[in-house]
Structure 1
Amino acid sequence: MVIAKAAPQQGKGQTKQRMLHAAVELMTERSAAGVTVDEVIARSGAPRGSVYYYFPDGRAQLLAEALELAGKITAATITDAFAEGATSGIDRYVKYWTAILQHKDFGASCPIASAAIGGGDIDGSLIPQADIIFQTWQDLIASGLVDMGISQKRAVGLSTLIVTSIEGGLILARASRDTAPLQRVQDELEQVLQQALNEE
């Protein structure tokens, strides 16, 4: 899976990373509210005692750190994608999510979006963190667009459009079990970006 690529299995130093990657993968499948410590242990193969060794605050800390990891993985993808140009940026960003959907047979979604929706008291504490992550993604895209020659003001608006459109396309694709909604979003966004570049 793209966003929750398995961490190396060998070595005690990898236990925490295995647990975090397992938590991210579970979050893509069933939202933050549906992730339990027992499932993380089962999927990561980590010893039960390692939970409170690496995450002394328990599930809340585990989910917060997993959400941070998920945000960083996508942020790295965005940075690389938009360093290559507007069209390439959209293409790679959409392919990133398409690969996740296909890998999980449409049983996955964006873990940041699921955290933003919230659930119980612990999961509600993830909402501000999700907001920061979404803003980071927008800032990275806006910076890439500015480097391409688009004005700062326009780049900020376009970055919000890009993130919200792809997140929405991801939801529609999962619901319909078809990547066509994401492809349509990509086509429209590429036209919008090309028009913005032509106007500058």
Structure 2
Amino acid sequence: MTEQSTVRERVVVAASAMLAQHGLNATSIRETIKRAEAPLGSTYHHFPGGKHQLVVEAVELAGAQVSRDLERQLQAGALAGIQGFLRLWRDILLDSDFRVGCPVMAVAVEEPVDEIAQRELDAAAGIYRRWEARLQVALVEHGHSAEAATGLATLLVAAVQGVIPLCRAQRSIEPFDRVAERLVALI
């Protein structure tokens, strides 16, 4: 790994963390660079597309990390994999004392103040589709019909992404646990 790629990777990781904690509009290049301990000029070198490019890469990084974890969890079977997927998000909430959510969701729900974030929305949509598709395959393998599995996969992603802000607002894991219990019962 070169020093150049290390700086670039640190910036992308910092942007992903900022999105997860503060949202799209609060994720500025200047603050991201500060948190990544990188020189400001490196941003323009590594991200000539500016904040749009940085946010897309940060969202794709976060989405890929969750996808890898989901894939690893699903190797134990659909039920164990889905329980692992739920545990991942539960742990994120608890480990951060409800201060961190999902960077993909941050991009999906927050409209930029000054412009349209179509590339960011497209990246988030692609990630959600990948999670749903992988869950759908696992649910079919678990014995659900393709139609039921598609609906359950969408429900799983939507429920998890929806309960995260509820838990953050209430500073409680109880809503998550109630939702997770119902989701597992459906599977």
TM-score normalised per structure 2: 0.91
Conservation of the 8 A alpha-carbon contact between 1:83 and 1:144? no
Task: Answer with 110-119 or 19-28: which moved more.
Answer: 110-119
CA deviation after TM superposition for structure 1 residue 115, in Å: 0.8
Task: Answer with 110-119 or 83-92: which moved more.
Answer: 83-92
CA deviation after TM superposition for structure 1 residue 152, in Å: 1.6
1:26 aligns with 2:18: yes
Q: How does 1:29-40 map to 2 (within 5 A)?
A: 29-40=21-32
Please name the residue that 1:49 is paired with: 41
Conservation of the 8 A alpha-carbon contact between 1:138 and 1:163? yes
Q: How does 1:96-135 map to 2 (within 5 A)?
A: 96-120=88-112, 121-135=115-129
Show structure 1 runs of 5+ residues with no match.
Answer: 1-7, 194-200
1:17 aligns with 2:9: yes
Distance 1:55 1:154 in 2: 42
Conservation of the 8 A alpha-carbon contact between 1:60 and 1:122? no
Matched residue of 2:98: which SS? coil
Distance 2:154 2:55 in 1: 25
CA deviation after TM superposition for structure 1 residue 136, in Å: 1.0
Matched residue of 1:46: which SS? coil
1:87 aligns with 2:79: yes
Distance 1:166 1:67 in 2: 17
- Structure 1 stretches of 4+ with a deviation exceeding 4 A read none
CA deviation after TM superposition for structure 1 residue 110, in Å: 1.3
Show structure 2 runs of 5+ residues with no match.
Answer: none
Conservation of the 8 A alpha-carbon contact between 2:78 and 2:141? no
Query: Please, what is the CA RMSD of the aligned residues?
Result: 1.7
CA deviation after TM superposition for structure 1 residue 131, in Å: 1.4
Identity %: 31
TM-score normalised per structure 1: 0.86
Distance 2:179 2:149 in 1: 18
Please name the residue that 2:64 is paired with: 72
